[in-house]
Amino acid sequence: MDQQFHKVLTKLDVLLLAFGAMIGWGWVVLSGTWITSAGALGAIIAFLIGGILVIFVGLTYAELSSAMPKVGGEHYFVLRALGPKASFIAAWAIALGYLSVVAFEAVALPTVIEYLFPTFKFGYLWTIAGWEVNASWVMVGMLGSVIITWINYRGVKSAAFLQVVLTFVIFLVGMALLGGSLVNGETANLQPLFKDGSAGLLAVLVMTPFMFVGFDVIPQTAEEMKIPQRSIGKLLILSVALAVLFYVAVVFAVSYILPDDVLTNSSLPTADAMAAALGSSFFSKVLIIGGLAGILTSWNAFIIGGSRVLYAIAKEGFLPQWFAHIHPIYKTPSNAVLFIGTLATFAPLLGRPMLVWLVDAGGFSIIIAYFLVAWSFIALRKKEPNMPRPFQVGKSPAVGWIALVLSIGFIVLYMPGMPSQLVWPYEWLIFIGWWVIGAFFIERIKKKVMERTEHVHRM
């Protein structure tokens, strides 16, 4: 049986896969928090700085993805540089991050539907952590999960087509917001440009790295791209740059059209800004539809990325071979897709707070993967200086060292007492539980698997 993936993804597919992964629902609900915390210009500067910092991590991915275009990305980068156990840790870390986002989007979808149709709420089931779980809410999340899973099961090209369509919806809504704001907004609304000085800017800056998680889905589909290897790195960096511009445009548009007192009291400031910019409350619903498209693009991208990660580590013998099955017709890792889709389908039963805990624990794990990729970048520059690098980031490993330090800084943000600390006991127990399961798989790895993967993977 031919176990090869279909090479069908174009440059546009790859670019919008990553961009759509980074643009979820946060730009709809968090813009007011960013602006009221740091001021209009302070929030913009925070996103520019945060974007530059993330680009350093992205550059390590860009070089390694172009040099080793293999499904599974981080798993193979780290395997070649640091060996099989470290590679499993990197892949297991990124897997939790992707699975957590997929599960959360199954909860975000019905939340948005309730914004659009406030009366669509029936069938109380139970309360978890203070959150009422209703049958209507669960039904919407489950239906969305089944549809997204089915599309991904049927082939990466159909999933990529969905991504392109939905990303253009986000773009059109964003341009309408910016255009209306430029026409009807006032410079006076931008005041105050800064709030709370450096403390306000830092408060927004610590949020920004997590708004850019998603560029890392590009290497997961490397074997499904029909583009030059060098283009992989270019598209990865371009996707981050576009995400930075999008967030900056949203912050500017919202702050230019809404006065500070309105922003402070708004529960959905971006939607209110759209209504003010275009002169009708109808357009707030249009913006929420743009946010809905953002949920679906993130959901779609992370089920693509997550299924490829599980496939890659199963292919090397770290997980049961069942996960390494490629569908004979659709050429997708169909079992891995079904596994992730099943988890997402049942996720709405757990309520929103529990899945927020899961996403926070997953975000911490993703940063661990970033750390190992940066370390691998440095190690391979020393270990294999002559390795073909179609997208080489300078002649020295300086970018890798910067990315390594930044990754450590991001990790520190999750520690107790820090702005993004994991909540004890819930988020820490999820994080620890995931790694206990991972330790079980590491211990189960047969010696022959370790010996087989100890050799350096050559392209």
Specify the number of domains making up the chain. Answer: 1
Distances (CA, A) of 302 to 104, 160, 238, 400: 11, 12, 19, 25
CA gap 323, 441 in Å, rounded = 14
pLDDT at 249 over 90: yes
pLDDT over 70 for what percent of the chain?
Answer: 96
Q: Which domain holds residue 366?
A: 11-454
Interhelix angle 156-184/282-315, nearest 10 degrees = 150
Q: Which residue would you say has higher pLDDT here, 452 or 405?
A: 405
The two three-digit tokens of residue 38, written as one number: 């740091």
The pLDDT assigned to 3 comes to: 63
pLDDT at 430 over 90: yes
Of the pLDDT bands very low, low, confident and very high (cuts 50, 70, 90), residue 453 is: low
pLDDT at 140 over 90: yes
The pLDDT assigned to 114 comes to: 85
Average pLDDT value for residue range 326-342: 96
- Domain membership of residue 235 (yes or no) is yes
Question: Under a CB-based contact definition with an 8 Å cutoff, are residues 209 and 53 in contact?
Answer: yes
Closest CA to 139 of 97, 109, 180: 109
Average pLDDT value for residue range 179-206: 91
Average pLDDT value for residue range 135-159: 96
DSSP per-residue codes, 111-126 = HHHHHH-TT----EEE
The pLDDT assigned to 46 comes to: 94
The pLDDT assigned to 115 comes to: 84
Which long-range contacts does 348-351 make (Cβ < 8 Å, 24+ apart)? Answer: 348/106, 348/107, 348/110, 348/133, 348/137, 348/138, 348/140, 348/141, 348/142, 349/125, 349/133, 349/138, 350/107, 350/128, 350/133, 351/107, 351/127, 351/128, 351/129, 351/131, 351/132, 351/133
User: Which residues of 253-336 form beta strands (DSSP E)?
Assistant: none
- Domain membership of residue 300 (yes or no) is yes
pLDDT at 458 over 70: no
Average pLDDT value for residue range 121-136: 91
Least confident of 136-140, 210-214, 248-252: 210-214
pLDDT at 2 over 60: no
Question: Under a CB-based contact definition with an 8 Å cutoff, are residues 36 and 226 in contact?
Answer: no
- Domain membership of residue 3 (yes or no) is no
- Domain membership of residue 241 (yes or no) is yes
The SS3 call for residue 35 is helix
CATH number (domain holding residue 212):
1.20.1740.10
The pLDDT assigned to 454 comes to: 60
The pLDDT assigned to 404 comes to: 96
Of the pLDDT bands very low, low, confident and very high (cuts 50, 70, 90), residue 459 is: very low
The pLDDT assigned to 126 comes to: 94
The pLDDT assigned to 189 comes to: 94
CA gap 381, 306 in Å, rounded = 28
Adjacent-strand bridge partners of 304: none
Average pLDDT value for residue range 233-253: 96
Average pLDDT value for residue range 123-148: 93
The pLDDT assigned to 15 comes to: 96
- Domain membership of residue 445 (yes or no) is yes
Q: What φ, ψ does residue 389 adopt, rounded to 5°?
A: -130, 90
Average pLDDT value for residue range 133-139: 94
The pLDDT assigned to 167 comes to: 96
CA gap 242, 244 in Å, rounded = 5
pLDDT at 150 over 90: yes
- Domain membership of residue 323 (yes or no) is yes
Average pLDDT value for residue range 299-305: 96
- Domain membership of residue 425 (yes or no) is yes
Per-residue pLDDT tens for 9-20? 999 999 999 999
pTM (2 decimals)?
Answer: 0.92
The pLDDT assigned to 91 comes to: 95
- Domain membership of residue 31 (yes or no) is yes
Per-residue pLDDT tens for 336-360? 999 999 999 999 999 888 888 998 8
pLDDT at 251 over 50: yes
Of the pLDDT bands very low, low, confident and very high (cuts 50, 70, 90), residue 22 is: very high
Per-residue pLDDT tens for 60-74? 999 999 999 999 989
The pLDDT assigned to 198 comes to: 84
Give the mean pLDDT of the chain.
Answer: 91
pLDDT at 1 over 50: no
The pLDDT assigned to 268 comes to: 87
CA gap 157, 148 in Å, rounded = 13
3-class SS string, 49-113: HHHHHHHHHHHHHHHHHHHCCCCCCHHHHHHHHHCHHHHHHHHHHHHHHHHHHHHHHHHHHHHHH
Q: Which residue has the tokens 């979808």?
A: 109
